[in-house]
Each structure stands twice: as structure tokens, then as C-alpha cells.
Structure 1
Amino acid sequence: MKFTDELWEAALPVYEKIENHPFNRELKKGILPVEKFKFYIFQDSLYLADFAKALATAGTKSGNSQELLDFLEFAQNAILVERALHISYFKEYDINFKGEKAPGCFAYTNYLLSVSAFESYEVAVAALLPCFWIYKKVGDYIYAHQSKPNPYQNWIDAYAGEEFGKSVEKALGICNQLAENASPATRAKMKEAYLTASKLEYVFWDSAYRLEEWPV
């Protein structure tokens, strides 16, 4: 069993809750209220800006130039997606928010930035993996079970697409290689980081569905 298989099995209950969350169920059917999708897209644009920073920071800790290049490419792709949101979705849905991160987005991005800065390369890679892997799994699931026509088809196609799949496979391969050479203690911390980030993935979707605001 690969280490990532262990990670998937450990976090499967979390993934199943993400897959069955009303946000994704309604997006799959094409009935997600547009205001919730707009909120999600705006928060995602804020998330991706910090995700790119976390990816680049993690990459500087890599043990070889190839993985540094891989993580810098991941970071570049995150920035390009963030820009594409503004060019496409922000115009299509007339998103003109000037607000701040919702609590869910704030918690997730600060966790990733903290881990990438202060934890080992191995732990940082594990923490960053759910954003690749869970999104690919959710995208594939929705693509296979969606109602058509679907107003959110472009979003579905992006995460179920082959190009994104290549990045996911690369990230999984790096994580498995690191785990092979890691101590039991480091592998345990990697699993903990993966689980925490997976839970924060759920929090992010739930935050968007609830149009979450700060209580004060």
C-alpha cells in the first residue's frame, strides 16, 4: 500500500462528507444558488493567492531542483487560475466583492502558510496535497454524475480535466517518495497534516454554502 493510500483511507470519512455536502450536491445538479457560487469563487480567489505562496515556500525546502521546479510550477498555476477567475467568473457573474476572507478561508490559508513556513518539507507537502487530490476527486465525481445542462459546467470541466489530473499525480508521487524515506514520526506528522487540511477543505465548502461572516 502506498502512503497516499493510507492517507486516503484515514481521511475517507471527511471526503465523503465533502462529496455529500449540500454545496457539491446542488452544484452537481446545477441548482446551487448563484449567490453561494459567487461567494465561493470570491473566497477561492483569496485562497489561491495564499495557496501559491505556500506552494512556493514549501518548494524552497525541497531536496532537489526538480521538486523545486515542480512546486514553483504548482504555485504559478495557482496564480494563473486566480487570475482566470477574475477574467472569466468575476465578469460572468458580476462579482465585485471588496470584502475580506471569511473565517473558513482565513483558517485554511493561515494553516497552509504556517505549515509551509515552520514545518518540514515532508509535512508541508502532505498538508498541501488535499487541495490537489480532493478537488480532483470531487471534480471527477460531479462530472460523472452531473445534471446537464449545468450552469457550472466550466468549473466542473476544470477540475475533472486531464491537465489538472497531471498536477495531482505529480503531487501524489512526490508525497509517496518523501514518505518512503521518512521516519515513523515524520510519517505520523504527515498524516496529521493531511487530515487537518482535509477537514479545512470541508470547512471551506461549508463556509461558502452558509455565506459565512465573522461573528463580530
Structure 2
Amino acid sequence: MRFTDQLWNEALPIYTKIQDHPFNQEMKNGTLPVEKFKFYIYQDSLYLAEFARALATAGTRSGTSQELLDFLQFAQNAILVERALHIGYFKEYDINSNSGKAPGCFAYTNYLLAISTFESYEVAVAALLPCFWIYKKVGDYIYKNQVRPNLYQNWIDAYAGEEFGLSVEKALRICDDLAENASESTRKKMSEAYVMATRLEYIFWDSAYSLEEWGV
């Protein structure tokens, strides 16, 4: 069994809750309220900027020039490819919010930045993996089961698309290669980081659905 298969099995109960979350179920059915999608898109735009920084930071700590290039490409895609989708939605839905990060986005981005800066490269890669893998899984699930026509088709197509899938497979291969040569203690920390990031993925979806605000 690949190391990433072990990661998936370990965090599967959390992924199941993400897939079954009302946000994703209502997106699948085309019934997600627009205000919740607008909140999500704005928060995701803030998330992606920090995710790109975390990817680039992790890449500079890689052991090979190829992996450095891979992570810089991941960072560029986070800014250019996915951001382009958001720009379209910002215009379509007239999103002009400047409220800043909600608690869920703040917690997730700061976790990834801290891990990418202070933990080992191997642990950073594992922590960054859920954003790739879970979005692909959710995108594929919604694409296969969606009600058509769907108001959110562009989002669905982006994450169920082949181009995004290639990036996910590359990230998985890197993680597996690193785990194969890592010590048992490092593999344990990689697993812990992956599970924590998966929890924060759930928090991010839930934050959007509840239109989360700071309590103070």
C-alpha cells in the first residue's frame, strides 16, 4: 500500500464529512445559496494567496531542483489558474468584500505557513496535500452526481478537470517518494500534518456555509 493510501484511509472519516457537508451537497444539487458561494469565493481568494506562499516556501526546501520547479509551478497555478476562476466570479457576483479572513481561513492559512516554514520538507508536503487531493475528490464526486444545469458549473469543471488532476497526481507521487525514504518518526509527523490539514479543510467548508464571523 502506498503511503498516500494510508493517509487517505486514516483521514477518510473527515473526508466523508466534507463530501456530505451541506455546502457540497447543495452545490451538487444546484441549490447552494449564492450568498454562501460568494462568501466562499472571497475567502478562497484570500486562502489561495497564502497557499501559494506556503507552496513556494516548501519548494525552496526541497532536495532536488525538479521538486523545486514542481512546487513553484504549483504556486503559480494557485495564483494564475485558480485565481482567474475567482476573478470571473468576483465580476459575475459583484464581490467587493474587504472584511478579511474569517476564522476558518485564518486558522488554515496560518497552519500551512507555519508548517512550511518550521517543519521538515516532508511534513510540509503532507500538510499541503489535502488542498490538492480533497478538492479533486470533491470535484469528481460533484461532477458525477450533479444536477444539470448547475449554477456552479465552472467551479465544478475546474476541480474535476484533467489539468488539475495531473497536478494532484504529481503531488501524490512526491509525497510517496518522500515517505519511502523517511524515518518512521517523520512518517508519523507527515500523517499527523495530513490529518490536521484535512480537518482544516472541513472547517473551511463549514465556515463558508455558516458565513462565519469573528465573535469579538
Residue 130 (structure 1) aligns with: 130
Determine the C-alpha separation between the residues in 2 that align with 1:139 and 1:87.
Answer: 19
| Counterpart in the other structure of 2:26 | 26
Contact 2:41 2:86 in 1 (8 A): no
Residue 141 of structure 1 aligns with which residue?
A: 141
Aligned to 1:78: 78
Deviation at 1:87, TM superposition (A): 2.7
Distance (whole Å) between structure 2 residues aligned to residue 172 and residue 87 of structure 1: 28
Identical counterparts, % of pairs = 79
The 8 Å contact of residues 21 and 206 in structure 2, kept in 1 or not, is answered as yes
- How far off is 1:81 after superposition? 3.4
* 1: CA distance, partners of 2:39 / 2:165: 26
Work out the CA distance in 1 between the residues paired with 2:79 and 2:212.
Answer: 24
Look up the SS of the partner of 2:211 in the other structure: coil
The answer for the alignment partner of 2:105 in structure 1 is 105
User: Aligned pair in 2 of structure 1 residues 132, 115: CA closer, same or farther (>3 Å)?
Assistant: same
Residues 1:36 and 2:11 aligned together: no
Q: Which amino acid aligns with 2:115?
A: V
Unaligned 5+ runs, structure 1: none
Matched residue SS, 2:23:
helix
Counterpart secondary structure, 2:61? coil
Alpha-carbon distance in structure 2 between the residues aligned to 1:51 and 1:92: 24
Alpha-carbon separation, structure 1, partners of 2:209 and 2:83: 23
1:58–1:121: 8 Å Cα contact kept in structure 2? yes
> What is the deviation of 1:85?
3.8
1:60-119 deviations in Å (ceiling 9; x for gaps): 010000000000000000011353145301001111111110000000000000000000
Partner of 1:188: 188
**Matched AA of 1:198:** T
- Which consecutive residues of structure 2, in runs of 5 or more, have no partner in the other structure? none
2:182 aligned counterpart, secondary structure? coil
Write the distance in 1 (CA, Å) between the matches of 2:39 and 2:82: 14
Question: What residue is the counterpart of 2:209 in the other structure?
Answer: 209
Q: For residue 118 of structure 1, what is the aligned residue in structure 2?
A: 118
Contact 1:41 1:85 in 2 (8 A): no
Counterpart of 1:13? 13
Alignment check: 8 A CA contact 2:55 2:74 kept: yes
1:157 and 1:16 mapped to 2: Cα distance? 21
State the AA in 1 paired with 2:203. Answer: V
What residue is the counterpart of 2:94 in the other structure?
94
Q: How many residues align?
A: 216
Root-mean-square deviation over aligned CA pairs: 0.7
Q: What are the within-5 Å matches in structure 2 for residues 135-174 of structure 1?
A: 135-174=135-174
Supply the distance in 2 between the matched residues of 1:94 and 1:142 (Cα, whole angstroms).
25
Distance 1:86 1:14 in 2: 26
CA distance in 2: counterparts of 1:19 and 1:110, whole angstroms:
24
Runs of 4+ in 1 over 4 A off after TM superposition: none
Letter in 2 for 1:208: A
- Other-structure match for 1:64: 64
Q: Return the letter of the residue paired with 1:70.
A: D
